[in-house]
């Protein structure tokens, strides 16, 4: 969704600093590189995110919703009849650059630059210049932003036009009678990562005798050579084709090419990873080098296992005092949100649940100051009272909260990271292991291949959400109060037994769950995630419950225990419904 110029600029600069970081030498970030990154696209300059110890009040830039560019200066004088703007510039500027103003959404291309009455190019920073022929809703005092740099865009275009973006390969296609169609790909380049490339891919599809128009080598060549959307091109294609054969499904040739090139790409990626790992190992001499995380190592050492045996974890997003939780069956872990451990009316339910399964405190995604106080003042008592086995943490700051209260927290409690940690690769898993994490929850944004890859390692226990409505967004205010305009006289709708939904333009209902303790609202997907756990080598299958009753919960548990998915439900990724 970004322009080629954006990709070229960002990858060029990131490549530079990745290489510097791997070199082991000290380096300083060039401010020119930083400004080019901001110039090519940014929403509100740069941000430290949530990495600082204090809350980041500048995380969201409110002045502009789209590309801000670089702040160029302030309009000092404007001649609306001639379209002359006087401005003292604090960034380089030239003919062909584009600018915008803070009080309107229009973009203007600079076609005239003057100093006094003289036309100029490349004026010096901090000089007073006149921009000509720019008319619109412009006033003295308006902020001016340089949205794009003609020279930066030109350099980016030249970089990707000159690069050899296609990697040469050789292939041999075999189409013979009574034999599955196959392709063998080898290297036709001198790149080290393709040195030992020799991949054969077969499709369980057999050609049939031709009745009228037999398959020709030219036709096969035409389809196999279509590599435009890939980083590859076939320098040499040989075709071993028997006479008088026909393919009823011509798309099979496209499928053969696509799948084979995917295998080539995966081969290259694995070699790139190994090269970086070996370099990193030599620099840092770490015994826990990421080299050990490679799949081949995991298999050789027995870390990889595929027992396909899992237990069930149950997240109760809501506790209902009218429900009989004693009837819950066949669960190993129960996750209860932190707030319920601070409210007396749920004490009997919590005591009952602690006898049914291992009880875990489920930490919220957003932790405000009052929640920290609740945590500090209630957790130790809850641990003694309900025999708490551990914590499900939703972000990295939860680790600090735990360390503030306990010494060697990972020694006495099981720490599980929630899906909000967005673990997408084994490197992240190894970092979590260093932090004392015992188990991680796979992100609902993962596709099937990614889940299978994460499940192939045994460094930490894996948990997969196999049923439930996944939160789409956590809002840092009370949505009910905002829509009902009940400030300052709160109607306390958030603590009623009513169930609220947000309806979209397609008439889909998104469940709203308010948290009155810290004025936070969670909006859940309108679709229910449902995945068959038997496909994956997980340790725990997690069931997320919102409004289901006890009978429904037990039915879901039994279905999950049997390795099935609920009919009529689908795995949901944002607004995409995909079954796994």
Higher pLDDT, residue 57 or 570:
57
- The backbone torsions φ and ψ at residue 433, rounded to the nearest 5 degrees and listed phi first, read -60, -40
The per-residue pLDDT for 480 is 82
**Angle 217-224/251-284 helices, nearest 10 degrees?**
40
Q: 289 falls in which pLDDT band (50, 70, 90)?
A: very low
Q: Is 49 left (phi over 0), alpha (psi -120 to 50) or beta?
A: left
CA dist 187 → 256, 260, 307, 353 (Å): 18, 13, 37, 60
The per-residue pLDDT for 578 is 31
Tokens encoding 234:
């076939």
Higher pLDDT, residue 359 or 425:
359
Query: How confident is the model over 261-282, as a mean pLDDT?
Result: 70
Higher pLDDT, residue 369 or 265:
265
Q: 238 falls in which pLDDT band (50, 70, 90)?
A: very high
Instruction: Work out whether strand 439-441 and strand 461-468 pair parallel, antiparallel, or are unpaired.
Output: parallel
CB 270 within 8 A of CB 204: no
Rg (alpha carbons) of the chain, rounded to whole number: 30
**Tokens 């980041």 -> residue:** 56
Q: Is the pLDDT of residue 290 over 50?
A: no
In this prediction the pTM is: 0.59
The per-residue pLDDT for 51 is 76
The per-residue pLDDT for 360 is 97
Looking at every residue in the chain, the average pLDDT score rounds to 86
Query: How confident is the model over 456-463, as a mean pLDDT?
Result: 91
The per-residue pLDDT for 49 is 78
CB 573 within 8 A of CB 528: no
Q: Which domains does the chain have, with CATH numbers?
A: 70-149 (2.40.30.10), 167-272 (no CATH), 311-469+526-578 (3.20.20.60), 471-524 (no CATH)
Q: Is the pLDDT of residue 200 over 60?
A: yes
The per-residue pLDDT for 286 is 36
Whether residue 488 has a cis bond before it, omega within 30° of 0: yes
Q: Determine how many CB atoms are found less than 10 A away from the CB of residue 417.
A: 27
Could you report the per-residue pLDDT of 537-565, keeping only the tens digit for each? 999 999 999 999 999 999 999 999 988 77
**Tokens 């959400």 -> residue:** 465
- The backbone torsions φ and ψ at residue 182, rounded to the nearest 5 degrees and listed phi first, read -145, 160
Which residue, 45, 551, 35, 74, is CA-closest to 328? Answer: 551
- The backbone torsions φ and ψ at residue 54, rounded to the nearest 5 degrees and listed phi first, read -100, 150
How far is residue 146's CA from residue 101's CA, in Å, rounded to a whole number? 9
Could you report the per-residue pLDDT of 161-197, keeping only the tens digit for each? 877 678 999 999 999 999 999 999 999 999 999 999 9
Q: Is the pLDDT of residue 579 over 60?
A: no
CB 229 within 8 A of CB 254: no
Query: How confident is the model over 85-93, as a mean pLDDT?
Result: 96
Higher pLDDT, residue 45 or 146:
146
Q: Is the pLDDT of residue 108 over 60?
A: yes
């Amino acid at each position: 969704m970004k322009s080629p110029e954006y990709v070229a600029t960002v990858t060029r600069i990131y490549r530079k600093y990745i290489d510097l970081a791997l070199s082991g030498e000290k380096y300083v970030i060039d401010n020119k590189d930083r400004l080019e990154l901001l110039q090519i696209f940014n929403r509100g300059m740069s941000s430290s995110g949530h990495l600082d110890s204090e809350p980041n009040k500048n995380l969201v830039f409110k002045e502009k919703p789209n590309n801000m560019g670089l702040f160029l200066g302030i309009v000092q004088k404007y001649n609306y009849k001639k379209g002359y703007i006087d401005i003292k510039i604090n960034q380089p500027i030239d003919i062909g650059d584009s600018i915008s103003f803070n009080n309107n959404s229009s973009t203007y291309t600079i076609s005239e630059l003057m100093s006094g009455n003289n036309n100029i190019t490349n004026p010096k920073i901090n000089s007073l210049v006149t921009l000509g022929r720019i008319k619109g809703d412009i006033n003295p005092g308006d902020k001016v932003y340089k949205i794009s740099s003609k020279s930066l865009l030109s350099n980016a275009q030249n970089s990707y036009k000159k690069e050899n973006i296609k990697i040469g390969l050789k292939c041999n296609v075999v189409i013979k009678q009574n034999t599955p169609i196959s392709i063998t790909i080898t290297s036709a380049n001198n790149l080290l990562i393709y040195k030992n490339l020799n991949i054969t891919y077969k499709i369980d599809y057999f050609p049939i005798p031709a009745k009228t128009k037999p398959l020709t080598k030219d036709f096969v060549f035409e389809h196999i050579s279509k590599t435009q959307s890939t980083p590859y091109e076939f320098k040499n294609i040989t075709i071993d084709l028997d006479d008088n054969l026909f393919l009823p499904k011509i798309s099979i040739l496209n499928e053969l090419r696509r799948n084979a090139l995917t295998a080539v790409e995966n081969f290259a990626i694995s070699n790139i990873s190994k090269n970086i790992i070996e370099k990193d190992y030599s620099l840092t001499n770490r015994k826990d080098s990421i080299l050990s995380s490679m799949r081949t190592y995991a298999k050789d050492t027995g870390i990889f296992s595929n027992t396909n045996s899992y237990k069930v974890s149950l997240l109760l997003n809501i506790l209902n005092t009218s429900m009989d939780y004693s009837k819950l069956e066949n669960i190993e872990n129960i996750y209860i949100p932190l707030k319920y451990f601070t409210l007396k009316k749920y004490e009997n339910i919590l005591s009952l649940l602690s006898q049914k399964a291992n009880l875990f405190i489920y930490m919220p995604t957003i932790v405000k100051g009052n929640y920290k106080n609740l945590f500090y003042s209630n957790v130790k008592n809850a641990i003694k009272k309900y025999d708490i086995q551990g914590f499900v943490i939703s972000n990295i700051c939860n680790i600090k909260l735990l360390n503030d209260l306990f010494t060697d927290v990972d020694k006495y409690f099981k720490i599980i990271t929630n899906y909000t940690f967005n673990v997408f690769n084994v490197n992240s898993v190894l970092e979590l292991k260093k932090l004392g994490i015992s188990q991680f929850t796979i992100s609902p944004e993962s596709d099937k291949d990614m889940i299978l890859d994460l499940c192939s390692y045994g460094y930490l226990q894996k948990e997969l959400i196999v049923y439930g409505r996944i939160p789409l967004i956590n809002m840092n205010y009370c949505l009910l109060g905002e829509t009902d305009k009940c400030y300052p006289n709160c109607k306390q709708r958030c603590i009623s037994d009513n169930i609220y939904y947000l309806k979209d333009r397609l008439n889909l209902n998104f469940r709203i769950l308010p948290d009155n303790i810290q004025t936070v609202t969670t909006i859940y997907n309108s679709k229910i995630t449902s995945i068959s756990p038997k496909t994956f080598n997980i340790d725990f299958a997690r069931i997320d419950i919102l409004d289901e009753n006890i009978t429904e919960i037990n039915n879901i548990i039994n279905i999950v225990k049997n390795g099935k998915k609920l009919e009529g439900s689908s795995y949901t990724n944002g607004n995409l419904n995909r079954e796994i």
